[in-house]
C-alpha cells in the first residue's frame, strides 16, 4: 500500500459547507475511489488556517492518477470549487506532503 498526503485550502467561511458536502459524498463517488485503488482516505481540517490535510492509502500510483479523468471526479471538482481553492479546470490547488515518519 502506498501512502500519500496533500494539503489544500478551504475558503474563509466555507469550512462547515466543505464538511457538509463530504458527509453527503454518495456511494457513486466512494465506489469510484475504491475502483481506483483507494483503500483508506482521510481529510483533516485546521479550523484556524482553513487548511486541509488529506491522507490516502492507494494500491497503485497509475490507477490513482486515472481517477482525475473520471466523469464523477470532474463533477465533484466542479461541485467543490465554490468552497475551496481550485485551478481554472476546477481541480483543487494542492501540495504534496513528504512523509518523514510513520510508525507501523
Backbone angles phi, psi at 53, to 5 degrees: -120, 120
Measured CA to CA, the distance from residue 20 to residue 51 in angstroms comes to 16
Q: Identify the active-site residue in 22, 36, 87, 90.
A: 22
Please report where in the chains the cell 483533516 appears, as a residue.
44
Backbone CA torsion sign across 77, 4, 31, 18: negative
For 71, other C-beta atoms within 10 Å of its C-beta total 8
Is 90 among the catalytic positions?
no
**What confidence category does residue 25 fall into, taking pLDDT thresholds of 50, 70 and 90?**
confident
Domains of the chain plus CATH, in order, are 2-97 (3.30.70.100)
Q: What is the pTM of this model?
A: 0.90
Question: 59-100: per-residue pLDDT in tens?
Answer: 999 999 999 999 999 999 999 999 999 999 999 999 999 999
Amino acid at each position: 500500500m502506498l501512502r500519500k498526503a496533500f494539503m489544500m485550502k478551504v475558503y474563509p467561511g466555507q469550512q462547515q459547507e466543505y464538511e457538509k458536502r463530504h458527509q453527503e459524498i454518495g456511494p457513486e463517488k466512494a465506489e469510484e475511489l475504491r475502483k481506483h485503488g483507494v483503500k483508506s482516505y482521510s481529510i483533516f481540517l485546521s479550523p484556524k488556517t482553513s487548511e486541509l490535510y488529506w491522507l490516502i492509502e492507494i494500491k497503485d500510483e497509475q490507477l490513482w492518477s486515472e481517477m482525475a479523468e473520471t466523469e464523477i471526479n470532474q463533477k465533484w471538482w466542479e461541485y467543490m470549487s465554490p468552497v475551496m481553492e481550485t485551478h481554472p479546470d476546477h481541480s483543487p490547488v494542492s501540495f504534496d506532503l513528504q512523509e518523514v515518519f510513520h510508525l507501523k
